[in-house]
Structure 1
Amino acid sequence: MVPERPPRPELEARLFSLREALRDSGLEGALLTHPLSIFYFTGAFARAHLLVTERQLRFLVFRPLERVRRESPFPAEPFRSLKGLPGLLREAGLRRVGLEFASLSHRDFLRYQDLLQDFELSDLSGIISSLRQIKSPYERACLREAGRRLAEALSAALPRLKPGMTELEALAEIETELRRRGHPGLVRSARGNEFATGLLVSGPEAVEPTYMVAGEGGRGVPGFPSGASLKEIRPGEPVLVDVAGYFAGYYVDQTRMLVFGKPSREVQEYLEIAEALMATGKRLLRPGVSAEEVYYALFGEAERLGVSEFFMRHGEEGVNFVGHGVGLCVDEDPPLAPGVKTPLRAGMCLALEPKLHIPGLGVIGFEDTWSLEEDSAEKLTVFLPKFKIISCQ
């Protein structure tokens, strides 16, 4: 049984790694404010400041103090005004302090800059991202459980789907089963994407470009033009189901293909190509390979197979990635994208999603989440088959 809250030794190991990174970067302390960072290091969500130094941990909570005291193993103290921060930093003997610039609004950044003008402030965003890229055994267990629950939910929901349903109705059946298994109905995104549990798109309308940086498009609804819509699903057309499994704060990402009735020969041929692309990508998921190498190898394979014009493209508008990290957000670093020279390392958990956008037909492709080991990769998204034919009866 995987604990639903990170055990104290897990949190202490994360703090140890943070302190090591602070020493290596010449920083004397970290002042964390982003709720996900607070959760990552304390086990509790809060509006708070977490001050981490070589010898100190000050958990300064605005709200909800009593709940935090129940959920975190670390002492929490009330904190009501930012005006007290300079005194706390001086008391800790700090001069050079790190903040997560990437998670601060410009207004908040200027406020901290003015308030802490006697201190040298540096950006911690890259350090925190790097620490979160490597998953501990506990985190990998959470992701494994998320994959298991996702497989259970799909197994329960898919028999209820039928042609004539709208995309939204079909997705609602899947979402119902996910929520019965503890999914909050919201997927956290590190890159500004917005969706509930995922996307379900079908037929030629799935190629519709959207504002989101995602592996597929979709018509959506007015005011939210992406993903599932009120379009009815027709027999024989490809249906793409890209949904995120959840457990204890962690997300896995998975895409499967459906068709009601018999698929056309054209659909079958593109499904086979999609399988070949996934196999190529999977072979590259090993330590030492750079993130961009995975992208370029898959693009080269798409060219070899004669489908480069459809590869990760919404018509004239493409997305330059073939996968991404997962964890507390569904789209974490590193993206598998051009220019990202980050070497893959054991402990990374990555979603691989090469997809084809075929005008007049739909979006066809698969996605799985993998946990990288020193000499292998474990698939965490375990629902099978990848392509399912559902009877029209």
Structure 2
Amino acid sequence: MSEPTNKLRYEFDQRIGKLQKSLQEQNLDGALFFQSEDIFYFTGTGVNSVLVVPSNQEPILLVRINVEKGRMDSLISDVRPSNGLTTLVDVVNQVFGEKKIALGISFDVINLSFYHQLQRQFSNTVFCDIQPMVWCLRLIKSDWEIAQIKAAAEISYKGIEGAIGILEEGISEIKFQKSIEQIKVSYGDEGNMIQRGSNNRLPFGVVAFGKNTSIISGNWMTMTSMGRSPSRPYGAGNDQLKKGDLVVIDHGTVYQGYHSDEARTFIYGKADKRHKYLHSVVNELLETAISEIRPGVSISEVYLQVEKLADRYGLKDQFMGLEQYGFRYIGHGIGLEIDEPPLISAFNKKVLEPGMVLAIEPKLIFKNEFGITQEDTIVVTESGCEVITSFPRDRFEV
């Protein structure tokens, strides 16, 4: 890590302290963590490990492979080698004894088979879901976390800038994507994005040309193109660029484990009046969302103001693919994972707070024709917000 170790150690100590306070408030004896991003958040390392956090004692990191690497990277002091579940059982018994205890785990990242294993091994233990608690802790980013996201955003800018320079007629989506990846890696991008659920690694993001910009096959209203086969129906395919094609680049960039998220839509060649108009509308939708982002504003209000604007333009059905799929959202939180709370939706009544980091991604999707999207990563500040992805939105013709 780039910051002085003592400064970072203090930050990670604070995180553990807040977690332990929350555990005590919920009458839990401790917590077990199995997911790499949760473990990194509390220890500073993402090595293959299990984190044991008693509510009133020092945490213990059990490293499955290469404990020396774990000790070198970790910002907690008690790092031990592990032989798997047997070691975990021994450590839990040492820490808590034979009494009946309640431990928190994250139900969303363990499968049923492993949960049954835990129940068999810890017969005196009641397991409770603490992922909502952990999300509350991770929701507000520190200055250090925001600095990593800003660094990722700088790499994102360089990736898009470099990408425009290699666009040429006949280049395939997949070749274009791989070229962007190489550019970004040369500036420090760490590669695969993280999506929650079984330590899911996602590819680069999305590159789409022409009609493929209207195709949706991912988890949310993301333009996904065709993919390269029916078994991988997401991401860049083999279609080649033609004059007049729209070009969508929607990519996450990772630095020190933290993501930025940025999308831009271009047209290869000269744009007609319709494309120019719709591109300007999407920019206005994004600017409207940004103007609403400040502490104390309801998240639903951010969404609703943008939806109202789309409706005034007569584009509500195309907004976020609403006519086709009915999902009323416009963005998401971002941090150690590409998709984090809060979901920026019509139904989320939570209010914005300083330190939240959001990815706002309005889009217009015209079925079987094309789609246009713009996306920025935004930090909620004490007085409003700061947009930290910075490639010019008005750049369209390339």
TM-score, normalising length: structure 2: 0.91
Structure-2 change in CA distance of 1:157 and 1:316 (3 Å): closer
Report the equivalent of 1:78: 81
Per-residue CA shift, 1:14-50, capped at 9, x if unaligned? 1122122222222221122211111111111133222
Shift of 1:226: 1.9
Per-residue CA shift, 1:333-383, capped at 9, x if unaligned? 111124333222110000000100023541112100001112121111122
Structure-2 change in CA distance of 1:147 and 1:200 (3 Å): same
Shift of 1:231: 0.9
- Asked whether the 8 Å contact 1:199–1:227 carries over to 2, the reply is yes
- Asked whether the 8 Å contact 2:209–2:246 carries over to 1, the reply is yes
Structure-2 change in CA distance of 1:211 and 1:279 (3 Å): closer
Q: Distance in 2 between matches of 1:171 and 1:309?
A: 30
Report the equivalent of 1:353: 361
Once the two structures are aligned, what percentage of the paired residues are identical?
Answer: 26
Unaligned runs of 5+ residues in structure 1 are none
Q: How does 1:108-123 map to 2 (within 5 A)?
A: 108-123=114-129
- Asked whether the 8 Å contact 1:28–1:94 carries over to 2, the reply is no
2:317 to 309, 319, 328: 309
Report the equivalent of 1:149: 155
Question: Once structures 1 and 2 are overlaid, which stretch shifts more, 78-87 or 189-198?
Answer: 189-198
Q: Distance in 1 between matches of 2:326 and 2:379?
A: 27
Bigger RCO of structures 1 and 2 (CA < 8 A, at least 6 apart): 1
- Asked whether the 8 Å contact 1:96–1:119 carries over to 2, the reply is yes
| Counterpart amino acid of residue 66 in structure 2 | P
Structure-2 change in CA distance of 1:72 and 1:195 (3 Å): closer
Q: Distance in 2 between matches of 1:313 and 1:362?
A: 11
TM-score, normalising length: structure 1: 0.92
Shift of 1:211: 4.2
Q: Distance in 1 between matches of 2:37 and 2:122?
A: 23
- Across the two proteins, how many residue pairs are aligned to each other? 390
Root-mean-square deviation (Å): 2.3
Q: Distance in 1 between matches of 2:78 and 2:164?
A: 46
- Return structure 1 stretches of 4+ with deviation > 4 angstroms: 191-194
DSSP-derived class of the 2:179 partner = helix
Q: Distance in 2 between matches of 1:64 and 1:295?
A: 46
Q: Are residues 1:129 and 2:132 paired? A: no
Report the equivalent of 1:3: 3
DSSP-derived class of the 2:64 partner = strand
Question: Once structures 1 and 2 are overlaid, which stretch shifts more, 25-34 or 240-249?
Answer: 25-34
Shift of 1:247: 0.7
Q: Distance in 2 between matches of 1:279 and 1:235?
A: 29
Q: How does 1:164-243 map to 2 (within 5 A)?
A: 164-190=170-196, 195-222=202-229, 223-243=231-251
Q: Distance in 1 between matches of 2:152 and 2:320?
A: 26
Q: How does 1:246-325 map to 2 (within 5 A)?
A: 246-313=254-321, 316-325=324-333
Question: Once structures 1 and 2 are overlaid, which stretch shifts more, 206-215 or 110-119?
Answer: 206-215
DSSP-derived class of the 2:248 partner = strand
Question: Once structures 1 and 2 are overlaid, which stretch shifts more, 296-305 or 133-142?
Answer: 296-305
Q: Distance in 2 between matches of 1:165 and 1:316?
A: 30
Q: Are residues 1:341 and 2:349 paired? A: yes
Q: Distance in 1 between matches of 2:394 and 2:42?
A: 36
| Counterpart amino acid of residue 3 in structure 2 | P
